[in-house]
Structure 1
Amino acid sequence: MSHRKLNPGKLVIASHNAGKVREIRALLEPYGIEPVSAGDLGLPEPEETGTTFRDNALLKAHASASAAGLPALADDSGLEVAALGGRPGVYTADWAERQAFEGEPGKPWAGRDWYMAMGKVEGLLAEQGPDVDRSACFVCTLALVWPDGHAEVFEGRAQGSLAWPPRGLLGFGYDPVFVPTGKSLTYAEIDPAEKHAISHRADAFAKLVAGVF
């Protein structure tokens, strides 16, 4: 299968997530790409209405490429927990969204609470007893879209297991509870450079690099 090559120059990272943008920027810069985030450009965040990682990645990349008139790269990623039938999956970020009544009295909550999300996963696992299967997988789907609508899609995976309680202050999202296979530390305890080399995002990027550079 042949892929369209991506030329050096500006590329929109179709995300407003600072942690995700930081990781993608580090992976792209060696290839002569000048990453600029959708947040920096003031582009709106499209509603993620897809039911798969692929659907949402394409939706975000098409929106940014069209709005900016530049190639755009979107990442849709999440955590699939075996004992939960693959949940939270495409709804990984949604599990971190607080409802209005969950904030402090008189202080409406804004943004995501990842410790709450990790607690939801752990609570569901605990319901299944002490011998529950704690294996999990981080999935990353990258969609690269040009202003003319051409799209390339690449998927990466990282297998591991879930720890509790959360450990480490590095990373973001569910990183403090995810221990990659073959390691004893969580993503949030691993040096970011090492995480970049072994993560689901790194796996997807290796496929993207092989295809478009």
Structure 2
Amino acid sequence: MRIKHETLGTVFDLVYVGLMTNLLLVVSCLPLVAGLVATDPARSWPLLAMVAPLCAPGVCATFAVLCAFSGTGNNAVARTFVAAWRASLRRATALGALATAALVVLGVDARAAWGHPVGAAAIPVLVTAMVLITATTLLALVVIAERPAVRLRDALRACLYLSLRRWYLTAFSLAVLALLEALVASRPAIAFGLAAAPLLYVVWANSRFTLREALGPIPG
């Protein structure tokens, strides 16, 4: 059997886009990656929380690369990534800072309530709020990747509504994101070297389907 040149080209493009996107994502998240590798996250989490918002533009840029490749087959990864990173820098970083601060506050409150009578009522509420913040932030990063000029307030309002309306899609995206986080914690080399782009593609595609009413069809 002969393999068509188009098929080989598609396979090479997929491999190149995946590996190059992983590399650029690591570079854009270098402070967080270095902290995860060089320190004990259980003890250094305040420092990691401070640098975590810097990863938001890199995640937006990753989503932009995946969108461009899925829509038009554009494999100019570096150019697309850098352009999207610059375009989303201010809004994505602000969103990442807001989400991180809220999650830290809620997480500390949940830890303080653990083992106390008030925890039976407070912890489920706090955990639900943390899940909603994570889901809304994830969808908002997808919006910012395609609409860098969007007002953050408008994006958050629409994403909160759609994350609740299509809760089953939200649950799937969060499960994939949790898998990526588990890989980062246990096998960072595999996570950042191989798994990040494929798993983020699943998250992006699922989130893009959730947002189709707001963003319309994929360009191209």
TM score, norm. by length of structure 2: 0.28
Greater share of helix: 2
Greater share of strand: 1
Higher RCO (C-alpha under 8 Å, 6+ residues apart):
2
TM score, norm. by length of structure 1: 0.29
